[in-house]
Structure 1
Amino acid sequence: MMKKRVEKYLKEKADKVDCVTDEEPPKTADDYQCSGNLEQDFTKLCKLMAVKDIPSVKIKQSTSTNRGVIEDNQFQTSLSQMTTWSSKPCLRIELENEDHSCVKEVKISGWKMDEVVLQVLSRILPSISNLQCLHMWRVGLTDYTFTSMRNTVSLCSNLRKVVLEGNPLAEQSYHLLIAEDSMLTDLSLRNNRIGEEGACLIGLALSTVHSANKNLLSLNLAFNSIGDAGAIHISQGLRLNRSLLCLSLSYNQIGDNGAAHLAEVLGPFALTHEEIVERRKLLLKAEESTMVQPSLVSLADSHERPLSVRSSSSLDRLNKSTKNPTKKKDNPKKEEKPAAGQATKKEEPKVAKKDNKFPRVQAGKIAGKDNNLTVSEQERVDVVETVIPLLDPGIVHTGGKVIHPGNTCLTSLNLSGNKLSEQSLRMFLSSLEGQGEGGLLRLSLNRNQYPSDCDTLLKIQEIMSLRDPLKKNLSGQVDDEHGEPKTTNEA
């Protein structure tokens, strides 16, 4: 009797398990819940969405952080694999710590993705919590599929690097990837036929008087058609951007006119009327919220208003008072202890100066480390914006103009393979000499239209060699496989 009861119980339990198992498989793609395992999710979703030829998934296991980083030769091999046509569509994924649920990089190269496959990826990628890099080379994106891809990128919480190369778009809407709320730190847009219109949109995304991108550290625009007009738009975006450290504009048909604007923004430049108006608004707002000292606000505001009336003697007095804002006419001796406000005034300029230096020190390590404009994870975490450009303490009023000290945050600029003459070299030399603390640590000007032995180039090289934290050898080196020049004639 007992035996029959046990058999009946086991049979009922097995029936319940079978019922649960029968209910698990989803009937439609909308019912499918991504597990975070790209291999399984991709195959199952493709089947549910009736994809005929399901691309394969190839795994490349990276060395764990405990065992060291990938060797240079292995990295170069992976680069060559990424930029070759695939005989059959496939996804190359890189795992971290040999865990199939920890995909940190997805590479798609050399085959056209249709809308259905892109929809599958748009479902899967946001579920991969560890995804850090997305590489798409010549995948046949259209304006419509690019918008879908951009929305997917914004949903990936830890995605910081996007490589989108060989995907020309009619609307040139690449700037959507670096909107003000974008969390990307590295973006490569090489070989996308970006012209003046696209460069204008990218420049506006970098910064305007009212907004600026605060996270992008590295931007590669090499091998496009930006030209002089596009370079001017990019230079406008650099005026008030204080996050970008590395910029490549190599092989973009840029001449002396475009180079003049790029060089100008690196050194001291005059604020426009719109920028002056916005600066005064910020000063007033800062005074109301007690972000800065009222005395500094009144001084700065008073010496900016009459732009053409000040005499030279009054300007000198104002400059002296601005340099020493903590000094007062009345210095009471009755109080033995300094007031709290006075202590704050003495300490604040030092703190601000220290904060300004911090990102530049990190940037120096980045600029000297890699010619491909990549930024290591640890360094990118440490780099933060600490200064509102229009409230830069180095701004002065002279000659009827308000002069900004310039963009000294950018540390690496690549203008190789353009149409620069010796005239451009002289402009860059002037800007480099005018830069104060911080500024460029690496400047690539090789393969342009100037004699290799001109005196101006030698002077630039001398300045840059003193700035280079790693003191790299300036001797010529061969180009890498993507055509990016390394250090030949680099300043």
Structure 2
Amino acid sequence: MCVGANARDKCRVQSIDDYQCSGSLEADFPQLCSLMKIREVPVVTSRIQTSTSPSADRRALEASQSQVWCESAMTTWCPKPRLQVELDFEDRQSVKEVKISGWKVDSLMVQVLSKILPSLSHLQSLHMWQVGLNDRTFASLKNTLFLCSNLRTVILEGNPLPEENFHLLMGEDSMLTHLSLRNNRIGEEGARLIGSALSTTRSANRNLVSLNLAFNSIGDAGAIHIAHGLRLNRTLLCLSLANNHIGDAGAAPLAEILAPFALTHEEVVERRRLLMSRSACPSQATAADSKCECPLSVPSSSSLEPNVGKGAKGSSKKKDAPKKDEKPVGGHTGGGPGKREEPKPAKKASDTKVPRGRAGRSGRKDKQPLVQESEDKNSAVQKSPEPTETVSPLLDPGVQHTGGRVIVPGNTALTALNLAGNKLTERSLPLFLSSVGSQGKGGLLHLRLQRNCFPPDCDTFLKIQEMMSLRDPLNRSPSGQVDDVQGQAA
């Protein structure tokens, strides 16, 4: 049965390529499955979001970010294949969230999703739990996700891939902000690819703020790769590495990047390259110089020298320049303070009989917009390279040179780190105590180290707990009841 205003036209469609999606998943999904000759079509069930108040949105955001702590997946098992949809409004075209769990998404179903998901303009979240993806279907799905303009959250759990190409969801062109890859058997190679996606000396992910890698097989070697990716990443806020067989060897580099650390040779070389790139145009070196661009600089004394002896033009530009630049031009006849130079445009304008005072003022009105316009253009041009400079810790103003090494401030962007359920011993704890303690303002607000290989009454662990309790702004339960519940869920 055809649904929608163009029901007859849709009935005549012979292939999925010719089908025009209406934006209503409930109407388009059965039609597309029929065109792909899928025998068992999953049932679409939808519900409307109950509240859109600011407090509800805030609670939803906190729940999304706290996923790195609560490791129990919010998945429901259905006896029959079912597509769960959450609507933003009563309008059937306002699909906000799609959940697929417990049934296989084969190549035919991926083609259906590739057709329908980009047409959902309100889609923000996609949950896929144990859907049997392989490398081929994952690659096709990844391309589809990048076509969803408002998609920001992807939960892809229980889908191990032989090639471990999950890092493709974290490329520089990815707009995802929340990504969960729990229980995907990610090992050392997958962790290496993910670490490189977080950052290298030449690139860094700038959108992902929450990454859940719990219940994988990252191990010590994989944790080292993740820590290396966190060295120059200043976007990620929440990271979960719970239950990943990580021991002291893997925990040490994770603790070290939280405090100031020395750059590697490769990072030092890249820092020099960036500094040389900035020195090619000194106006990019400081915030004060950022007001002007080298080729178009007006206030520079060197740019004023060709105007010496040109009468009104030279004097008007000189008045707009800083006072420091006026002194070298003092050799010019009548040069000196700006007030003495004002009458000069009147003297040169011999064809007019306007009094000197008016001529001086009119000269300023004529010239000032030109100079102001050039400064506005310069500042507009200068704004473009600023994001690339600010996101690179290699150019951090707090860089220090000590003992022949280049020391950069540690990663204080990361606010939540979950290492619960691993193999850490008491030897790792002093590193975290020292690193987090050195961060001062900012830095980690949540550090979970429960269920590792040290007694819960360990003195260093208790000190870490006390320190994190003081740093945690969301610690609403002094008795620790909330932490106990989350710890059990983890």
Indicate the SS of the match to 1:108. Answer: strand
Deviations 1:299-357 (A, max 9, x none): xxxxxxxxxxxxxxxxxxxxxxxxxxxxxxxxx9x9999xxxxxxxxxxxxxxxxx99x
Do residues 42 (structure 1) and 29 (structure 2) align?
Answer: yes
Amino acid at match of 1:37: S
Deviations 1:102-131 (A, max 9, x none): 000000001112211111011000011110
1:186 is displaced (CA, Å) by: 0.2
Q: In 2 relative to 1, CA 244–22 (structure 1 residues): closer, same or farther, beyond 3 Å?
A: closer
The separation in 2 between residues aligned to 1:48 and 1:92, in whole angstroms, is 21
Task: Report what 1:135 is aligned to.
Answer: 127
Structure 2, unpaired ranges of 5+: 1-5, 65-70, 290-326, 331-335, 339-385
For the 8 Å contact 1:405–1:435, the answer to whether it is kept is no
Do residues 160 (structure 1) and 147 (structure 2) align?
Answer: no
TM-score by length of 1: 0.73
Q: 1:121 aligns with which of 88, 96, 113?
A: 113
Amino acid at match of 1:389: P
For the 8 Å contact 1:214–1:385, the answer to whether it is kept is no
Do residues 254 (structure 1) and 257 (structure 2) align?
Answer: no
The separation in 1 between residues aligned to 2:431 and 2:220, in whole angstroms, is 15
Do residues 431 (structure 1) and 423 (structure 2) align?
Answer: no
Do residues 475 (structure 1) and 475 (structure 2) align?
Answer: no
1:28 is displaced (CA, Å) by: 2.1
Task: Report what 2:165 is aligned to.
Answer: 173
Task: Report what 2:402 is aligned to.
Answer: 398
Structure 1, unpaired ranges of 5+: 1-18, 297-331, 338-354, 357-383, 486-491
1:462 is displaced (CA, Å) by: 2.7
The separation in 2 between residues aligned to 1:294 and 1:62, in whole angstroms, is 46
Task: Report what 2:451 is aligned to.
Answer: 447
Q: 1:193 aligns with which of 173, 178, 185?
A: 185
For the 8 Å contact 2:389–2:395, the answer to whether it is kept is no
For the 8 Å contact 1:59–1:93, the answer to whether it is kept is yes
Deviations 1:270-322 (A, max 9, x none): 001110110111112123242223999xxxxxxxxxxxxxxxxxxxxxxxxxx
Indicate the SS of the match to 1:465. Answer: helix
Q: 1:286 aligns with which of 278, 287, 296?
A: 278
Aligned residues: 390
Within a 5 Å distance, the mapping from 1:182-331 to structure 2 comes to 182-289=174-281, 290-293=283-286
Task: Report what 1:61 is aligned to.
Answer: 48
Instruction: Report which stretch shifted further, 461-470 or 122-131.
Output: 461-470
Pairwise CA RMSD = 3.5
The separation in 1 between residues aligned to 2:272 and 2:451, in whole angstroms, is 44
1:212 is displaced (CA, Å) by: 0.6
The separation in 1 between residues aligned to 2:56 and 2:454, in whole angstroms, is 40
For the 8 Å contact 1:231–1:262, the answer to whether it is kept is yes
After the TM superposition, list the runs of 4 or more consecutive aligned residues in structure 1 that deviate by more than 6 angstroms. 334-337, 478-483
- Share of identical aligned residues, percent? 61
The separation in 2 between residues aligned to 1:196 and 1:94, in whole angstroms, is 36
The separation in 2 between residues aligned to 1:161 and 1:23, in whole angstroms, is 32
The separation in 2 between residues aligned to 1:482 and 1:147, in whole angstroms, is 35
The separation in 2 between residues aligned to 1:182 and 1:415, in whole angstroms, is 26
Deviations 1:219-250 (A, max 9, x none): 00001111100000000000000100000001
Q: In 2 relative to 1, CA 38–448 (structure 1 residues): closer, same or farther, beyond 3 Å?
A: same
Within a 5 Å distance, the mapping from 1:69-84 to structure 2 comes to 69=56, 83-84=75-76
Q: 1:414 aligns with which of 418, 425, 441?
A: 418
Q: In 2 relative to 1, CA 215–336 (structure 1 residues): closer, same or farther, beyond 3 Å?
A: farther
The separation in 2 between residues aligned to 1:194 and 1:31, in whole angstroms, is 39
TM-score by length of 2: 0.73
Amino acid at match of 2:128: M
Higher-Rg structure is: 2
